[in-house]
Amino acid sequence: MEADVPEIPDEDQEMFEHFHFVVDPGQDLLRIDKFLMYKISGGTRTRIQHAIDSGNVLVNKKLTKASYKVRPHDEISVVFPYPKREIELIAENIPINIVYEDNDILIINKEPGMVVHPGVGNFTGTLMNALMYHIDSLPESKNETDKDPFSRLRPGLVHRIDKNTSGLLVIAKNDISLNRLSKAFHQKDVHRRYVALVWGNLQEDEGTVVANIGRDLRDRKKMAAFPDASQGRHAVTHYKVLERFRYATLIECRLETGRTHQIRVHMAYIGHPLFNDEVYGGNKILKGQALGRYKQFVENCFELMPRQALHAQSLGFIHPVSGEKMLFESELPADIQAVIEKWRSYLQPND
């Protein structure tokens, strides 16, 4: 029986280097460890051997051994964890929008453009750096394992949202809160509602997208939907139409699961990528005329909102200590509001 392929936790994906190769047709038989030493800059024999032993080197989507000899057309995927010494969590005096705070939890309304925790290319300036300055101490994750070597960079963090997504996050301020909130998220006992502007006019007023989400097989920096559940992890997104703009639609999304890029991937999967989402194709003019006034209108919208149109607007849960039912709401940020108003004006009669 084939061994299960280990999966890096969603929240830690950017803490790793991802490589993908398709072996040239004329490649001679060569041990994979030697092949990777030639192909990867900084790929020492020790580092490559450790990756193979840890199950982080796949050949044709299957685990391999260092003695395997690569063959023409083999598809090879490699994941290297960044050494811990390369990333340190440093307290920084960065303003943050605190919606609510008590002795146990903190609710943050994150601005677009702020990364939640340190990662490759974002070693400073993150929400975690800001929290370390504003709060004396935060609880460390109890899940630090070989597969999760960067949990120390996420003290108190229960969930996260993407860099260019705005909205609400809850932070645990002590061990009890961290453990109970983590359990609530795992058991889907948390209410999360997002507002998004997507391309196209959805046929139904509401619906559900069910498709596994995992790493894109050809671009490891992206996620992809797998409808036959052959890859990835189970993911469910419920959506409801709020307002229609002929070529775009304002929707709300409720998450039943919490996978990396879930809303962005699911909406792109059904043919309605988020407006101005450059990773999943929403930064192109997908509906309407690509010339003249309409083209200029869309480009102006992109300039007003240089990010995907996604906001975590509502967050609800049971307080981990008091047992009180908590519900927080956040207004749409100015850039999304401005784009919505432009769409409304564009579709006025006689326009």
The residue-averaged pLDDT of 166-185 equals 93
pLDDT band at 328 (very low <50, low <70, confident <90, very high): very high
Are the C-beta atoms of residues 335 and 300 closer than 8 Å to each other? no
The residue-averaged pLDDT of 289-310 equals 91
The catalytic position among 12, 33, 74, 162 is: 162
Same domain as 173, residue 111: yes
pLDDT band at 10 (very low <50, low <70, confident <90, very high): very low
User: Domain end: 65, 81, 97, which one?
Assistant: 81
From CA 247, how far away is CA 141, in angstroms rounded? 44
User: Domain end: 53, 81, 109, which one?
Assistant: 81
Residue 141: the pLDDT is 62
At 164, which CATH number?
3.30.2350.10
Burial class (CB in 10 A: 0-12, 13-18, 19+), 67: exposed
Q: What is the largest CA-CA distance in the chain?
A: 71
The residue-averaged pLDDT of 73-94 equals 76
Same domain as 99, residue 70: no
Q: How many domains does the chain have?
A: 3
User: Domain end: 47, 81, 115, which one?
Assistant: 81
Residue 82: the pLDDT is 56
Residue 146: the pLDDT is 41
Q: Is 148 a catalytic residue?
A: no
Residue 5: the pLDDT is 37
| 20/143: higher pLDDT | 20
From CA 323, how far away is CA 317, in angstroms rounded? 9
The residue-averaged pLDDT of 272-300 equals 91
Could you tell me which residues come within 8 angstroms of residue 97 by beta carbon, excluding any fewer than 6 positions away? 108, 109, 110, 111
Please report, for residues 116, 127, 142, 176, 195, the alpha-carbon distance to residue 170 in angstroms, rounded to integers and kept in the order given. 12, 12, 18, 14, 18
Percent of the chain with pLDDT over 90: 55
Residue 207: the pLDDT is 97
The answer to whether position 31 is within a domain reads yes
Please report, for residues 31, 128, 257, 281, 336, the alpha-carbon distance to residue 211 in angstroms, rounded to integers and kept in the order given. 37, 31, 11, 19, 27
The answer to whether position 29 is within a domain reads yes
Residue 241: the pLDDT is 98
Full domain range(s) for residue 280: 190-351
Same domain as 63, residue 93: no
Q: How high is the mean pLDDT of the chain? A: 86
Same domain as 347, residue 206: yes
The answer to whether position 50 is within a domain reads yes
| 179/351: higher pLDDT | 179
pLDDT surpassing 60 at residue 233: yes
Same domain as 259, residue 124: no
